[in-house]
Chain A
Amino acid sequence: MNRFIFRRLLQAIPTMFGITVISFLLMLKTPGDPVTLITFRPNNNPETTAILKRQLGLDQPAHIQYLYWLVGNDWVKIDVDGDGEGDMPGTRKGILRGDLGQSIQQKRPVADVIGERITATLLLTVPSLIIGYLVGVIVGLLAAIYHGTWLDQLARLLSVIGNAIPSFWLGLIMIIFFSVRLDWLPMSGMRDITKPSSEYQVWDSIPYMVMPVSVFALIIVASVSRFTRTQALEVMGQDYVRTAYAKGLKVRGIYAHHIARNALIPIVTLLGGSIGFLLSGAVIIEQVFSWPGLGRTAIDAVSQRDYPVIMGTVIMSGVMYIIGLLFSDILYGVVDPRIRLE
């Protein structure tokens, strides 16, 4: 098992390397000069600009910039005044040591910004994931058991609608209905901002969570229920299920022990992949409901051209996705003892 995890981690290295290269190359292409963005003073004299550029390492060729960004530049002396000799040691630690750089807008480490926002994203996505999978599995199993009845049709309708309706639009419609018309639920944000943040408790967020979590959960239910149904139908055609019926087991027991247990194994693999999906979905849902999470940070950073933050969120989402996949692979082996993790 440990060997398997180790090997999977090794396999993740080229992928991570690719992610950093791609995002770095794309960032190099972006319009706008970082120095102008940081100083915000168009009539800066060229000398200060040049010094700042050298301090930031922007005078270096792309591959050196990438290297500094990746592993930091505290092991080289930076030539600040441009005379060809190193003057002071670099200050950056590089993303490999957790230094995602400084946010241009907020003037503080990107890691802090992301760390702050990621809890909000988790508060939104984890309950959605749990509810979505629970409901999705139940609906899918019921649809398979009552195969061909109105219940099956209803489940199919639900999944088709859940897949075809744009999630942000569903969110908007819910806001119009439940917040604007009925005034039952708060329409945006994550807590009552008129209250001091010291009094904030997690459950204060529950009314704010209802709508975004249900939109999210619906999307998950749509795909999970369809997948569960297909899996369950396949299992129901297996010989061991027929044997179970033939030897007179209780129908309920067959559903629970023979069908559900076997149908649910492949669903575990969905779980890992859904982390990336959740992060993507969170970007849009957070925007609709003004939820102060990672996705909104990314979008805000785009409109403010805060490149280090954009890079940070992309790298973070990649890391989380890879961890999610690894996690689901391990879980797969745990729930299904027949699978040997080699």
Chain B
Amino acid sequence: MTNANASAGSGGPYAANGVLQLPHVEEKYISRSLWAEALQRIRRDRLTLVALLLLLAMTLACIFAPPVVEKELGVSAERTDIINRYKPPDWKHNVLGTDHLGRDQFVRLLYGGRVSLGVAYGASLMSISLGLAIGMLAGYFGGVIDALVTWFITTISSIPSIFLLILVSVAFTPSPTILIVLLGLLGWIGTCRLVRGEVLALKQREFITAAQAIGASSPRVLTAHLFPNLVSLMIVSLTIDAGSLILVEAGLSYLGLGVRPPKSSWGNMLTSARMYFNTGPHLVIWPGILIAVTVLCFFIAGDGLRDALDPRARGRGRR
């Protein structure tokens, strides 16, 4: 893919037809695709790299490590052990101590990570796809669709999010899957607004007019011309959204409205934190640190990806 193709988002298939192909461009100028350039930028940005690797490590650990840890250390996330309650961390057996029922905290945090990260990934993917689809339709077609979408967005965002979540989680008792759907259904609004604005700006540009002029259908303009221009924006919002969703899920579960025990999530492990103030501060400290570090990684990664993917934003804001 040539640079011109990638950044304008048009021409790819025409190039395949040989109609718009510019065969000698690549030989004359050193041209890299947007993605190659982005990759190079990320490779140079140490902080972003560290954040991304940490997220990857944490995700893999939560997916694969729990059974291994349970076997190796001889601990269990489910088995209660009343004699060994509130045990402080020790390096041999309970790496991060035990909770109020004598369950091992380390394993429970790993299992909790499955839920917390799973909800974050699932819900952010869902809200991004919804926001993208609705935002593109509203922005591109305008008129009644746009008016309806705008009204809906204004209304939903006029209820402070947590009250809306309270209402919703009363109506549907959430399991992790339901929670993903709920957060996804509520979270698309920000993305939708972003996409709508971007599409409104993009559709004035020449390459869209050109596509329309040669008779491209609306679905074609939307998928082949507008969508490629929104991908980098979406990757950035996906990352930042996932971070915020970790916080939202943690807050909800802390309030007892999210994931219910005995299934652990980083948020609901803090629900009865009041009981631990004297007996086991390690039970308050570790889930919070995990949440904070994960969210921080998502935010830093989002920031870095924005710098890498959006040439216009470069040099703006951060430095």
Contacts and interface: CB of A to CB of B under 8 A. Distances in A.
Nearest to A148: B319
Interface residues of B, number: 46
Interface string A2-33: 00000000000011001100110011011100
Contact of A166 (B257, B281, B288, B319): B288
A279 B160 contact: yes
Interface string B296-313: 100110000000000000
A23 B291 CA distance: 31
Interface string B163-179: 11011111111000000
B233 interface: no
Interface of B is mostly: helix
Interface string A319-342: 001100100000000000000000
Given A168-B270, A280-B161, A302-B257, A18 B171 contact: no
Nearest to B252: A284
B156 interface: yes
Contacts of A270: none
A18 B167 contact: no
Contacts of B317: 230
B250 interface: yes
A166 B285 contact: no
Interface residues of A, number: 52
A321 B160 contact: yes
A276 B172 CA distance: 24
Given A168-B254, A180-B277, A280 B160 contact: yes
Contacts of A176: 277, 281, 284
A313 interface: yes
Given A18-B152, A164-B295, A321-B159, A30 B164 contact: no
A173 B285 contact: yes
A277 B160 contact: yes
Contacts of B159: 19, 22-23, 314, 317-318, 321
16 contacts: A22-B155, A23-B167, A26-B171, A163-B295, A164-B295, A166-B247, A166-B267, A167-B251, A168-B251, A169-B287, A279-B160, A280-B162, A280-B163, A299-B166, A303-B256, A310-B170
Interface of B: 151-152, 154-156, 158-164, 166-173, 243, 247, 250-251, 254-257, 267, 270, 273, 277-278, 281, 284-285, 287-288, 291-292, 295-296, 299-300, 317, 319
Top 10 A-B pairs ranked by shortest CB distance? Answer: A18-B155, A169-B288, A280-B162, A164-B296, A276-B160, A29-B171, A164-B295, A280-B160, A279-B160, A314-B163
Given A18-B155, A295-B162, A317-B160, 13 more contacts: A18-B152, A18-B156, A22-B155, A26-B168, A169-B270, A173-B288, A176-B277, A276-B158, A283-B163, A298-B166, A302-B166, A303-B256, A314-B159
